[in-house]
Amino acid sequence: MPSFYSYHTSPWGPLLIFADGQYLTGLYFADEGHCPPIASDSIENEDAYPFSLTIEQLNRYFEGSLREFSLPLMTWGTDFQKRVWQALTGIPYGKTMTYTQLAYQVGSPRSTRAVGQANGRNPVSIIVPCHRVIGADGSLTGYGGGINRKRALLEFEARNCPV
């Protein structure tokens, strides 16, 4: 199956989006450390499915009118990583959770470090809201897109979150 990619502008920098023609497979800040290289056989095609749906929902999120994404996702990772990524989708818009709370939620209370590593390997940032996970002391730690972007995303959501 062919793989596709496209770039999209966000208020916090360029995004690199990956898809396989059926599923969204990646969303990264183009300059972040975990952003994979574009495969030599990938095709730049902003019309490939589900790019238009992804971009429409991202734009609504950036406008403050979308709180939860509904996109066809296909992610590759260990079973543990997938459990963590699934749990991330349950953190409400404008709210945060600590790594320790997330470890308890996925049934591995002694695996805070592993939860942090899985969180950092999230292949669809923003959509699976790994930016909503914070340190036990409330500090902003460990975001692949950078702490400044994590802060900006959390502040953005807090401003747009109804009380």
Active-site amino acid positions: 130
Burial 23-34 (b: 16+ CB within 10 A, else e): ebbbbbbeebee
Closest CA relative to residue 35, chosen from 147, 120, 114, 135: 120
Contact 4, 51 (CB under 8 A): yes
Spatial separation of the C-alpha atoms in residues 43 and 2, rounded to whole Å = 8
The radius of gyration of the chain from alpha carbons, rounded to an integer in Å, stands at 15
Residue 4: strand pairing partners: 19, 43
